[in-house]
Structure 1
C-alpha cells in the first residue's frame, strides 16, 4: 500500500476547499485534487465526528487495496495522519448524474455505449463474485456507486458496506 502525507493532500485539494468538494455522504466528504505531477485524484475524508463511518472506511480500504480489476475504482494511496483514502479520478462522475443530471452527457450515451457500461458493470461483478481470490458481495450497488472514466467505461466504487462470503442460490424447491 502506498502512503501519502497530509500536507501533500492539503496542497492538492487547496486545503480541502469547498470549491474542490465533489460531495458528501453520511460519514464522509469527497474532494477533487491534483498532485504536483498533474495527476487528478479524489480524496475521501471521514467526518471527524463519525464513529459509524470508521468501519465502512476500513472495509473500503481493505477491499479496494486487495481487489484489482479494470471495472473497479482503484485505491492509489492512504494518509494515516487523518482518515483519508485517495482514489483515481473519474471525470465523467457517477452513472446517476450522467444519466439524470446532465442531459448533454446522457445524449452522448447511445445504445452501444450503454451496452458497454452494462457489460463493464457485469464484468466487475463477475470478478467480485467469482474470479477474485476474495469473494465479495457489494451490497450497495446503485447508479451513484458506478463511476465513469474519461472513455465512459464503468468502475464500481464504494465498498464500505461490502462483505466477504460465499454466494449461495436458494431455489424455491430447496426450502
Structure 2
C-alpha cells in the first residue's frame, strides 16, 4: 500500500507533466480552457477525453497486418483521492457525448451511451451497436454491478467482459421458466 508521502510524490510528478509536450498547441490550449472554465484539474480531463474521442471514432480499426485489423477499443480509468474533482471531469464528457448524439439526431432509444449499465444491458446494446461508451462515475458502481443479477457471481461477469473485449458473440438468457 502506498503511503501519503508516496502519493504526494506521484501527484507532484503527474502534475509536472506538460500537456504541451503531449498534445499540439491548439489542443493543449482547448484543454486548458476546459479545465479553467470547469474548475477541473487538467490532468483529470485527459482520461475521459481519450475514451470519448475513441468512441466517436466508432468505425475506426487498427490494421495489424495487411489481412487483419482490430476494432479500436480504449479503456481508461480516472483514479484519485476522494473529493478531488473526478466526478466533474466525467460529467464534462458524459454531457458532451449526450450533446453530440443530440446534434447528430440520435434519439435515446438508439443511443450508444451506457452509463451505469448492468452487464445484461451492455450485452443487449452490443447486439445492436458495434460499440458503446460507458462513463461510470464511480468504479464502485461498476464493480458492485458485477454478479448482481445472476447466480454465476462476479467472476462470471468478469469473464463476459473479457469475451466482449475479444469480440465473441455473447448470448445471455436470464429467463426463468416455471415447471409443474
Q: Which has the higher strand share?
A: 1
Give the alignment's TM-score, normalised by structure 2.
0.29
Q: Which has the higher contact order (CA 8 A, sep 6+)?
A: 1
Instruction: From the CA coordinates, give the structure whose radius of gyration is larger.
Output: 2
Give the alignment's TM-score, normalised by structure 1.
0.30
